[in-house]
Structure 1
Amino acid sequence: MGKLKGFMEYRRALPVDREPLERIKDWNEFHEEMSAEQLSDQGARCMDCGTPFCHSGFMLNGMTAGCPIHNLIPEWNDHVYRGFWRDAWERLMKTNNFPEFTGRVCPAPCEGSCVLGIIQPPVTIKNIEYSIIEHAFAEGWVEPKQIAVRTGKKVAIVGSGPSGLACADQLNKAGHTVTVFERDDRVGGLLMYGIPNMKLDKRLVVQRRVDLMKEEGVSFVTGTEVGVNYPVDKLLSEYDAVVLCIGATNPRDLNADGRNLDGIHFAMEFLRASTKAVLDGTEPVLSAKGKDVVVIGGGDTGTDCVATSLRQGCKSVIQLEIMPKPADFRQEDNPWPEWPKVFKVDYGQEEAAAVQGGDPRRYLMMTKKFIGENGRLSAVEVSKVEWIKQEGRTIPVPVSGSEEIIPAQLVLLAMGFLGPEAQLLQSLGVEQDSRSNIKADEKSYRTSVDKVFAAGDARRGQSLVVWAINEGRAAARECDRFLMGCTSLP
């Protein structure tokens, strides 16, 4: 695989990004594309390692190691190195329904488990994946495939995020008649309204794939919330099987004095309003313009809030993280092939540094209370924390005398999610586990309700887009087996 000694001849390279001060003026994607020659050199670095952990896809010490959908990474790296782009695309599509999504928004656990990463920077797998699928679209290879034989079975999928779309795509290929229900006004779930346009273009990328699925026979029903304006009894009676792909959209809240003040919002509420305004060509109903913004929580969602606030013209933005700053290099308790818990500067922090002169993140910070006047937020009181072991647990303890007041007219809570919303599950009578996720069998993906399956974040908890695709594919396979007695789906 790759070029003999290629990893010794070529250094890791990434595509150039547009300058931060320029890209915050619009909502367009900010990565430039690399030439075929540059990509060939990067593919050549794939080192014929013998045991490619990059496509292993398992949980190690609570973190994802390798690719959860088991992409055939060394194979398509080799094809790109040799210039066999169509072969690379065909290999990629064997395992991934939507490489145009993962090539943009996946954090690339494959690269964290790349064997080359033990001694050098890993292969640029994510960018090669993105380049393969975009090359295929540009060449016209990606065309709707007509399904020759229909089974006569009808399947309803609730939710059109990455797990729902992957499940629908697979079941449609198996010949079933698939209808996807989405409560929002546009298809895509997290892909449409949870990820900002500058990371994943909605019209050029998400809608392109949705339109392709429509041409292949998948039906989408938007503005329809099952259990609210579409009865669950009707769903169960009209379809031979139902797959719940509703995500883990119940956000973690912050119980602090002043939480009821106007100006404190969940991150997804803010990001949805922003993306909808971009797509509709209107002003957002919730805006950071002219405000001091405090983002509470790290991760991709916190970064997206920082970047969105800057594009809306905020006065300032600060990001508070209760955890300590990660180390610059892997520590002894974080060996390869675990996901590397190291310090990174993501696009939002890079943009904030360009505007404000420094990284907006402040580590080991706890929010003590929200301060306001006449019912509106005006500031946040915070303090530093120390992590101390008590009774076998490590907990954050405020540092006395470290309190300070930070001006804020907008606070965005980006502290993760606790599980799926309960209303639909209660209406269906679906059992939930101790973490409030849908309780579904690990192998069959079946819930406690006959002919009802579950996949994605709603089943496994908040996770990566690539895990959602894995779950959607697996649930489709087991749903097909349930309907037909056997299955040929991978």
Structure 2
Amino acid sequence: MGKYTGFLEYERVNPAKRPPEERINDWNELKIRQDNDELSKQGARCMDCGIPFCHGGVLLNGMAAGCPARNLIPEWNDLVYTGQWEDAYKRLIRTMPFPEFTGRVCPAPCEGSCTEGYILEAVAINNIEQEIIDRAFEEGWVKNNKPTKRTGKKIAVVGSGPSGLATAYYLNAVGHLVTVYERNDRIGGLLMYGIPNMKLDKKVVQRRVDLLSESGVQFITNTEVGIDISSEELVDKYDAVILCCGATKPRALTVIGADLMGVHNAVDFLKANTKSLLDSKLSDEKHISAKDKNIIVIGGGDTGTDCVATSIRHGCNTVYQFEIMPEPPSSRQGDNPWPEWPKKLKVDYGQEEAIHLYGSDPRNYNINTKKIVGNSKGEVTEVHTVNVVWEKDSNGRFGPQEVPGSEKVWKADIVLIAMGFLGPEDTIADELHLDRDGRSNIKADYEKFETNIDKVFVAGDCRRGQSLVVWAIQEGKLVAREVDKHLMGSTVLK
């Protein structure tokens, strides 16, 4: 695959981003696309490694190692290297229905397991994937997948995030009548409202939704299953019901003052911003504005970064990000060997922008929030913190221990909680009496996906817990296979 000596001849070149001083003034996507010559070289770096760990898709120490969708990465890298772009697209969509999403927002566990990355820099797989699908749309190669005949079987999919859309894509393709229920006013779930526009332009999401509609998938918005329509009614009405409703129960901050005005869950902040942006370019002022405010983001990860970047675009006064964990190392450590996902420090786009504006990284590590203080009106004014160190207890388990004398008070007008999610909301699971696992997720075995209730299946984050978009898409693909088999006795889906 690729050029046998390509990894020796060419260095990894990441696509450039628009400069911070430009991009913080708009909500447009960050990347600057590479030219054909550079993309060919990047594809050429994919070596004939014998065992392509990049598409392993396994869990090592709880983290994805290789592509969960089992993409045939070396094959389409080689096709890009030789300029066979349409064939590269055909090879890519054999395993990934929505590369325009994963190419933009996936953290690329494939690159973490790239054989070349064991010693050198990994192949730029993620960017090549995005370039393939973007070119495919430009050239008109992407068509709807409307089936030639229908089975007459009716299927309800609850939730239109990545797992719900993938489920609908595959079940519609084999001829079933698929209806997707979404409680929001737009289709896309976290793709639409959980990820900011500068990372995933909503026109990209809507383009795919339109293709699915043309293919025959029916979308019903502003309808919350369990509230506007009962779960039992869906079970009675459809031949199968597939729950793809995500893990949307946010982890709470349990400190004094967490209920003050100005304390918001990160997802509410991001959703309100995107909705207002799409509805009115923020002119309706129905978002939580960070303009001229002092912002504290509690929690790291992608969501925390998105809150930092969104606050900067509003024109915040200051923004700081708190992380109770230690700062990651700059390179792999001995307890994190290849091909595990590399746990190392990265400076993401939001941090780049904060450094440009304020001269320092907004992240503060080994810091714990003790309380939030407000004024007489019940509005946030301060966040009180203490530094921590991680030490083993008598049972050998690491935990945070406070550092005496490290207390600090931070000015704050808005506090955004980006501490992750605990699992799915309870409404549907309680209504249908679905079994739950120890983490409150709806219980169903992987690659089976059937719950304890006949005809009811589950996939994505509401089954596995908060995870990656690529895992959600893969689960949508696999639950479609099981539902088709359940309804028809056999399946062509793999």
For Structure 1 versus Structure 2, the TM-score category normalised by the shorter chain is over 0.9
SS of 2:491 mapped into structure 1 = coil
How big is the shift at 1:441? Answer: 2.3
Counterpart of 1:485 in structure 2 is: 489
Q: Distance in 2 between matches of 1:226 and 1:348?
A: 35
Partner of 1:229: 228
Q: CA deviation at 1:443?
A: 3.0
| Aligned residue type for 2:225 | V
Give the counterpart letter for 1:442 in structure 2: Y
State the match for 1:264 in structure 2. 263
Gaps of 5+ in 1: none
Q: Return the offset for 1:484.
A: 0.3
In structure 2, the partner of 1:255 is 254
Identity fraction in percent: 61
Following superposition, which runs of at least 4 residues in structure 1 exceed 2 angstroms of deviation?
Answer: 282-285
The equivalences for 1:35-114 within 5 A come to 35-114=35-114
Deviations 1:100-134 (A, max 9, x none): 00000000000000000011100000000000000
Which of 431, 434, 445 is 1:430 aligned to?
Answer: 434
Q: Give the alignment partner of residue 324 of structure 2, picking from 322, 327, 344.
A: 322
Once residues 89 and 443 of structure 1 are traced to their aligned partners in structure 2, the CA distance between those partners, rounded to angstroms, is: 26
**Which TM-score applies when normalising by structure 1?**
0.99
Determine the C-alpha separation between the residues in 2 that align with 1:213 and 1:130.
20
Q: Is the 8 A contact 2:146 2:172 kept in 1?
A: no
Looking at structure 2, the residues matched to 233 and 455 of structure 1 have their Cα atoms a distance apart, in angstroms, of: 19
Which deviations, in whole Å up to 9, do the C-alpha atoms of 1:376-400 show, x marking residues without a partner? 1001000100111112211111111
Quote the residue 1:381 is aligned against.
384
2:481 partner amino acid = R
Q: CA deviation at 1:233?
A: 2.5
- Show the counterpart of 2:245: 246
- How many angstroms apart in 2 are the aligned matches of 1:42 and 1:386? 42
State the alpha-carbon separation in 2 of the partners of residues 402 and 457 from structure 1.
38
Instruction: Report what 1:197 is aligned to.
Output: 197
Separation (CA, whole Å) in 1 of partners of 2:406 and 2:139: 59
| Partner AA of 1:438 in structure 2 | I
Q: What letter matches 2:65 in structure 1?
A: A
Q: 1:415 aligns with which of 412, 419, 437?
A: 419
* Structure 2 residue 406 is the aligned partner of structure 1 residue 402: yes
Separation (CA, whole Å) in 1 of partners of 2:372 and 2:232:
44
Query: What's 1:363 paired with?
Result: 365
Match for 1:366: what amino acid? N
1:338 aligns to 2:331 (yes or no): no
Cα deviation, 1:433-466, whole Å, max 9, x if unaligned, reads 1100000122311001110000000000110000
Report if the CA contact (8 A) 2:386-2:407 is conserved: yes
Q: Distance in 2 between the 1:451 and 1:264 partners?
A: 41
State the partner residue of 1:175.
Answer: 175
Match of 1:166 in 2: 166
Work out the CA distance in 1 between the residues paired with 2:18 and 2:146. Answer: 39
Offset at residue 485 of structure 1 (A): 0.6
What secondary structure sits across from 1:453 in the alignment?
strand
CA distance in 1, matches of 2:489, 2:462: 26
Stretch of structure 1 that moved more, 101-110 or 256-265: 256-265
Deviations 1:315-345 (A, max 9, x none): 1100000011111111010110000011100
Cα separation, 1, equivalents of 2:477 and 2:146: 19
Aligned to 1:458: 462
> Which AA in structure 2 matches 1:258?
G
Cα shift at 1:309:
0.4
State which drifts further: 232-241 or 408-417: 232-241
Q: Is the 8 A contact 2:325 2:366 kept in 1?
A: yes
Aligned residue in 1 for 2:206:
207
Equivalent AA in structure 1 for residue 410 of structure 2: I
Please name the residue that 2:351 is paired with: 349
Q: What is the root-mean-square deviation of aligned Cα atoms in Å?
A: 0.7
Q: Deviations over 1:188-207 (max 9, x none)?
A: 0000000000000002x000
Name which of structure 1's ranges 139-148 and 212-221 shifts more when overlaid on structure 2. Answer: 139-148
Structure 1 residue 146 displacement after superposition: 2.7
Paired AA for residue 81 in structure 1: Y
Q: CA deviation at 1:213?
A: 0.4
- Residue aligned with 2:373, SS: strand
In 2, Cα distance between equivalents of 1:295 and 1:238: 44
